[in-house]
Structure 1
Amino acid sequence: MGVAIRAAGQGDRELVVRVLSAAFQDDPVSGWIFPGVEYRRETQPLLMAAFADIVLAEGRIDLTEDGSACALWLPMPDEVHDDGGEGFRQVRAAVDPENERVEILGRLTAEIHPAGRAHEYLWMIGVTPGNQGQGLGAALIGSVTDRCDREGLPAYLEASSPRSRALYERLGFEQTGPALTLPDGPKMWPMWRDPRG
């Protein structure tokens, strides 16, 4: 059975934020950024909204037709522009000014992001908890990696949990470089997928 996928528009912003907030409520990296269930429940949607706004402006959000899963993709050029961390400071100021972990995460993931070759960057993918394990994430990723294969374009992401890492490995991603260990926090795994013939 196929999964119907469409490009999200500005009118889908709140749905995307709800999906991501629900999907990442128990994620180890989200727990590190926003320790405490109530704090995370209240503040994490602001971060997801900031991410959705960035990707709606600069990339593409794919959404399952039933609204239960979405993937945020950014096209990355050969050389990534370094703004000196200003973008991360702006996100922190808009989301949770007292929380330095918002900015730290952005800076550390930027430091390990591969440069020198254009690629598609899967910034985030989320499936609502009641719909996980049904192949929606694989379908969302596959729709883009199929295009990457046709166009000879690699793809990159950071896995934020062992479970997501295993899914990405099944979809052809391989760890590239050492895992990123967040300060007093969990690991993230940088993963790369070369296009297939």
Structure 2
Amino acid sequence: MPERAVRLAGNADRVPVAAMLARAFADDPAMEFIFPDPADRTKRLPRLFALLFDHDAAAGMRLLTAGGEAATLWRGPGQVHTGRLAMLRRLPGLLHALGTNVSRALRVGEAIDAHMPAGAFWYLHIAGCDPAAQGRGLGAVAVRAGLTRAAGRLPAYLETATERNLVFYAGLGFAVTGEWIVPGSSLRFWSMLRPPG
């Protein structure tokens, strides 16, 4: 699939993208840590991804393959962190999405923030492909489209808690720059950076 088959996602894509990302992240170690109960995770992940979809509209760009099988949510330079005021405005939605899992989500978020690189970069905040469409290269197409549109002019950064993703992202030019554990847990992340170009 050529990169031109990837488009900017609009507000009408919110619900289907959130549902697709919920399926894609159903067995993600970070989501399993935040939502340890599988039934609760299934209920809450679409809510969480809908909130992230909304936030990343103003913070960067949202890309979607033509058939909606894969999506990437990017945050632009200087847009990585959510300020306290913005967090307070989102508090009702966050509480609705996270329920009793708020403290675990905050621990993960704080650890992620602590490992962000210095300087200007594009942050690949979320990248997911529907499990039914995996293995067809759609996720790679969605990531490459983001790199082509904006991140190619600056470094691109991501973190992943899924070890099998390391080879996937290495094939897209990312290299591991760190490995770390969320404090007070056994949840492991890898930081990866891709140089510009």
TM-score by length of 2: 0.87
- For residue 100 of structure 2, give the secondary structure of its aligned residue in structure 1: coil
State how far apart, in whole Å, the 1-side matches of 2:82 and 2:29 are: 27
What's the counterpart of residue 51 of structure 2? Answer: 50
* 2:73 paired residue number: 72
Q: Is 1:28–2:23 an aligned residue pair?
A: no
Alpha-carbon distance in structure 1 between the residues aligned to 2:21 and 2:63: 12
Structure 1's 84 and 177: CA in aligned 2 closer, same or farther, altered over 3 A?
A: farther
1:112 alignment partner AA = H
Q: What is the alpha-carbon distance in structure 2 between the residues aligned to residue 72 and residue 107 of structure 1? A: 19
Give 1:1-197 correspondences, 5 Å limit: 1-2=1-2, 4-77=5-78, 83=83, 87=87, 90=91, 92-99=94-101, 100-115=103-118, 117-148=119-150, 151=153, 153-181=154-182, 183-196=184-197
The answer to whether the 8 A contact 2:75-2:125 is kept is yes
Q: Please state how far the C-alpha of 1:44 moved relative to its aligned partner.
A: 1.5
Give the SS at the match of 1:76: coil
Provide the secondary structure at the position in 1 that maps to 2:63.
Answer: strand
Question: Deviations along 1:142-173, whole A, 9 cap, x unmatched?
Answer: 1222345753x110000120111211111111
* Structure 1 counterpart SS, 2:41: helix
For structure 1, the 5+ residue unaligned runs are none
Aligned length: 193
Could you give the per-residue CA deviations for residues 44-81 of structure 1, whole angstroms, max 9, x where no partner exists? Answer: 2121111111012322110000011100001022x966
Kept in 1, the 8 Å contact 2:108–2:182? The answer is no
Equivalent AA in structure 1 for residue 116 of structure 2: H
1:173 partner letter: F
Query: Does the Cα contact within 8 Å between 1:6 and 1:62 map onto a contact in 2?
Result: yes
Supply the distance in 2 between the matched residues of 1:108 and 1:149 (Cα, whole angstroms): 23
* 8 A contact 2:179–2:188 mirrored in 1: no
Q: TM-score, with normalisation over the residues of structure 1?
A: 0.87
Q: Distance in 2 between matches of 1:58 and 1:20?
A: 19
Q: CA RMSD in A?
A: 2.4
1:92, 1:102 within 8 Å by CA — same for their partners in 2? no
Counterparts of 1:136 and 1:14 in 2: how far apart (Å)? Answer: 20
User: 1:82 and 1:57, CA in 2 relative to 1: closer, same or farther beyond 3 A?
Assistant: closer
Q: CA deviation at 1:179?
A: 2.5
Partner SS, residue 62 of structure 1: strand
